[in-house]
Chains A and B, each alone.
Chain A
């Protein structure tokens, strides 16, 4: 799942010279993920993984890194 998220993030939302070096726990917000990017990322994740990510849970602890994002998606009902 992290690879799919990572591909989308670096193809559409954030530029990184070498995405392969971006770690699962590196900070996406510091890397440049902005408010519109977060919304687009959430919409992508909901569609791709068939879950609903509650608005009330959109916070740095859940979207701050690939690892936290994956964990949030799994907690929200993804079983794949």
Chain B
């Protein structure tokens, strides 16, 4: 895109575009995600605007439209600037409540642009909100984008070809075919266990809401230690997923079926790499367990870990890539059925989940200002109408729950979050 005004979707972009279309078709804004960074002071906002201008200059797809190209889709640059949008908390209101209200107002509005950036001013500092459309980039990419906006060395950030396509190019035709059938069998197995869901509602107008569960440094260390004890060095994500399955099971799933299936992504980007900035470089895995397995805490973690290891040993993590590559030639509605529907016709995902990992800005902060807190949000399909985004901020675990209201019952979610607390910290009741 840096030397062209047009960029065809890569297989990961199309995968997320299909889900974006499902969300839009249900009357919601689309597959948007948001990172909200609370800053201790007001940063140099004119400097931020200049950096946004540089972003569009260096990476034109940051300001682009999606247009069809035959059976595929492409980003076509518009060249329009990304203007920092300014919002102000009402001075007489509780600032935290007012910031959350503004965040959600912005996030719930209808939008067509792939990337918008906002400053919500408080009494002293405020909140930077970056909202992006998932086909534009994945969550790891968003961290890189935030780093680009904040760095003193923007020239070190470069675009590069799709990592999925680079990986596919390494394999022979036969290897791709072999992996494709592996993934298909994996999907078939995933689709055979009817998933418990957090709601029975499948349609109707919805509003996105957000609840954030924050853990202090001591609690976060305890959770990390327990995660290592139960799921080993390779499975912190699995610990969060297992705890959520148990919380949902013990509170009672509103749509009770056979078990739980939670897809989770893995990222092909190298850790700490400033490139690629844009594009989705992700594969997909599934954490699955029957309700009976979920009720046995120790057994559940052993099951999830064993399943995960087998998946990696069988190269199923990579097997999804050829499937995503072929999916590019399916229409969005046909592809959506493959991604979402079980053999019974029910929804596959009990929850949308992503573990984004460490999100810290070190001593220099964001634009030179300390980041005091953060929250994450995303739209999702209905069902499940609930997404859990996990990250660590300065070593402290933050769990952000985005949910659709009225589809998800708020009291039920609060009970699940309370139970999640117990499960994560393994307090006496767990």
Q: A and B from one assembly?
A: yes
CA distance A15 to B276 in the complex (A): 11
Interface size on B, residues (CB 8 A): 20
Q: Decide yes or no: A43 and B313 within 8 Å by CB, A32-B271, A32-B272 being known contacts.
A: yes
CA distance A31 to B270 in the complex (A): 11
Which of chain B's residues have a CB closer than 8 A to the CB of A34?
Answer: 271, 357
Contact of A38 with B313 in the complex, beta carbons under 8 Å = no
Q: Which residues, 267 to 308 on B, are CB-close (under 8 Å) to A?
A: 267, 270-274, 308
Which of chain A's residues have a CB closer than 8 A to the CB of B271?
Answer: 13-15, 31-34, 37
Q: Decide yes or no: A59 and B233 within 8 Å by CB, A39-B309, A43-B313 being known contacts.
A: yes
Q: Mark B232-270, 1 if CB is under 8 A from A, else 0.
A: 111111000000000000000000000000000011001
Contact of B237 with A14 in the complex, beta carbons under 8 Å = no
Which of chain A's residues have a CB closer than 8 A to the CB of B266?
Answer: 36
Q: Does B123 contact A (CB under 8 A)?
A: no
Q: Does B312 contact A (CB under 8 A)?
A: yes
Q: Which residues, 1 to 60 on B, are CB-close (under 8 Å) to A?
A: none
Interface size on A, residues (CB 8 A): 22
Contact of A35 with B236 in the complex, beta carbons under 8 Å = yes
Contact of B312 with A39 in the complex, beta carbons under 8 Å = yes
Shortest beta-carbon distance from A6 to chain B in Å: 13
Which of chain B's residues have a CB closer than 8 A to the CB of A31?
Answer: 271-272
CA distance A2 to B315 in the complex (A): 24
Which of chain A's residues have a CB closer than 8 A to the CB of B236?
Answer: 35
CA distance A43 to B266 in the complex (A): 16
Shortest beta-carbon distance from A53 to chain B in Å: 11
Task: Write the residues of chain B forming the contact surface with A, with a CB cutoff of 8 angstroms.
Answer: 232-237, 266-267, 270-274, 308-309, 312-313, 315, 317, 357
Task: Write the residues of chain A forming the contact surface with B, with a CB cutoff of 8 angstroms.
Answer: 10, 12-16, 31-40, 43, 55, 58-60, 63
23 contacting pairs across A/B (C-beta < 8 A): A10-B270, A13-B270, A13-B271, A14-B270, A15-B270, A15-B272, A15-B274, A32-B270, A32-B271, A32-B272, A33-B271, A34-B271, A34-B357, A35-B234, A35-B237, A36-B267, A37-B271, A38-B233, A39-B234, A39-B308, A39-B309, A58-B234, A59-B233
